[in-house]
Amino acid sequence: MSRLHREGHNIGRIGWLRAAVLGANDGIVSTSSLIVGVAAAAAGKSEVLLAGFAGLAAGALSMAAGEYVSVSSQADTEAADLARERRELADMPDLELDELTSIYRNRGLTPELAREVARQLTAKDALAAHARDELAISELTAARPLQAAMASAATFSVGAALPLVAAWVAPLPALPIGVTAASLAFLALLGALGARAGGASIVKGVLRVVFWGALAMAVTAGVGKIFGTAV
């Protein structure tokens, strides 16, 4: 089927793309904010790099843990839904057939055709039909906690490494401005890549990512400055 007709829809890519862009975006923004904030408090270069590296490690682990917990609970919910559906199919197959029929009627089929579609799909794989059309669980959407956790940690680390490298190569006096400029450039690139892969507007993607990143860095640098002069 797909060989005859390829439209190249992007919706299947949205899941991992969203996670990858989010991870890298978080890594760039939080690490560069941390670096700029510590540098604004007039710390030496080794303290700045140490803070940035600690931020990378802490952020990657917390992203992995957060993603694991959230995707696991989604997977638990899906598993519980499927188990209940399997029970219902065994206990009351007639009611379940009616239920599937009414789903297809609501989607616009005539009652007779809806009945026939429900009957044939039930004969083929009743649980798959209910999972897909009643619970909206498919192979594509099925939650994978470990994969999501590792992907988040990896993309966060890649994002966090970029401002860290910029801080490493920049001379100390130019460090805040250098890290900020490099990070905004990375964010713009990331926004463009994400928009392109998702088939959305590139300008919109770039502006959105750069605006929020710049805001986060400005606020953190301000906080660093206040605390740097206060202590």
For Zn ion, which is the closer residue by CB, 92 or 113?
92
For Zn ion, which is the closer residue by CB, 26 or 96?
96
Token representation of residue 11: 């919706």
| Residue 146: Cβ within 10 Å count | 12
Q: How far is the CB of 127 from Zn ion (least distance, A)?
A: 9
Token representation of residue 216: 């986060």
CA–CA distances in Å: residue 229 to residues 19, 52, 217, 223, 224:
38, 20, 18, 10, 8
Q: How far is the CB of 52 from Zn ion (least distance, A)?
A: 52
CA–CA distances in Å: residue 77 to residues 1, 157, 230:
32, 30, 49
Q: How far is the CB of 102 from Zn ion (least distance, A)?
A: 11
Contact between 118 and Zn ion by CB under 5 A: the answer reads no
CA 181: distance to chain centroid?
Answer: 25
Contact between 134 and Zn ion by CB under 5 A: the answer reads yes
Contact between 81 and Zn ion by CB under 5 A: the answer reads no
Q: Work out which of 31, 52, 130, 190 binds Zn ion, going by CB under 5 A.
A: 130
**Site mask, Zn ion, residues 92-111, x = CB under 5 A?**
----x--x------------
In the chain the first and final C-alpha atoms are separated, in Å, by: 67
Q: Which residue is nearest to Zn ion (CB)?
A: 130
Q: How many CA atoms lie within 13 A of 143 on its CB side?
A: 17
Q: Are the beta carbons of 114 and 102 closer than 8 angstroms? A: yes
Integer Cα distance of 65 and 98 in angstroms: 42
Q: How far is the CB of 96 from Zn ion (least distance, A)?
A: 5
**Site mask, Zn ion, residues 137-176, x = CB under 5 A?**
----------------------------------------
From the list 22-30, 53-61, 122-130, 141-149, the region that binds Zn ion by CB under 5 A is 122-130
Report the interface residues with Zn ion, using CB under 5 A: 96, 99, 130, 134
